[in-house]
Amino acid sequence: MRIGIDFDNTIICYDKVFASVARQRELVPDGWEGLKTDVRDLLRSRAGGELAWQGLQGFVYGKGIRGAEIYPGVREFLAACRQAGAKVYIVSHKTRYGHQDPDRTDLRDAARSWLLRAGLIDAALAVGDVYFEDTLAAKVDRLVQLSLDVFIDDLVDVFEHPHFPKATRSILFTRSQPPHPARCKPIATWADIRREVFAA
């Protein structure tokens, strides 16, 4: 079995670090708590908020990535992949540099370093099986090239792309309520994803 997994907001969870850095930058009040999407929506509701959001993203995905966490159940899923002899790839739409990042931190290097520190490289997958693509279209092209049996992502746009491979089982990692696209199966936890993929 060949399994592909998205990186941002699928393997790695930024919720706490976005809230923390937003508080440090006084973009939200002291003590404010919320998800990454809550921070984004709050900033975008203000004049000039899009630039503030992009600057926050550039920092969190780069230098601030050390504060991000692995989603519960990812390690157990990857252990099940090893046990089943499944080949695992990471395929992510990630530009090399963030918008509004004066330090020009290489976001791909930062992500690879996070994967190494989390113990996911070598233990679960090879560094050569991690792909970062410049555009959504390039990401979908990579999925086609890899001939995956399963792909797991938090973004509906990937599964709705006209070139997304029809033979690949689509799992949408989401806690959102329906409706969801007919072609992908929404699952809220990695424990349930593990059961879905390895049920047979």
Residue 108 CB partners (closer than 8 Å, separation 6+): 94, 96, 132
The model's pLDDT over 172-197, given as tens digits with 9 standing for 90+, comes to: 999 887 777 788 999 999 999 999 99
DSSP structure class, residue 131: E
Query: What's the token pair of residue 117?
Result: 């520190």
The model's pLDDT over 137-176, given as tens digits with 9 standing for 90+, comes to: 999 999 999 999 999 999 999 999 999 999 999 999 998 8
Give the CA-trace dihedral at 143, 1, 115, 96, to 10 degrees: -10
With bands split at pLDDT 50, 70 and 90, how would you rate the model's confidence at 10?
A: very high
With bands split at pLDDT 50, 70 and 90, how would you rate the model's confidence at 200?
A: low
The model's pLDDT over 84-115, given as tens digits with 9 standing for 90+, comes to: 999 999 999 998 887 766 778 899 999 999 99
Query: What's the token pair of residue 177?
Result: 């309520």
Q: What is the pTM (predicted TM-score) of this model?
A: 0.91
Q: What is the mean pLDDT of residues 17-36?
A: 91
Number of continuous H segments (helices) and E segments (strands) in the chain:
8, 8
Helix axis angle for 74-84 and 190-198, nearest 10°, is: 20
Query: What's the token pair of residue 41?
Result: 């929506």
With bands split at pLDDT 50, 70 and 90, how would you rate the model's confidence at 122?
A: confident
Q: Which helix (H) or strand (E) holds 141?
A: helix 136-146
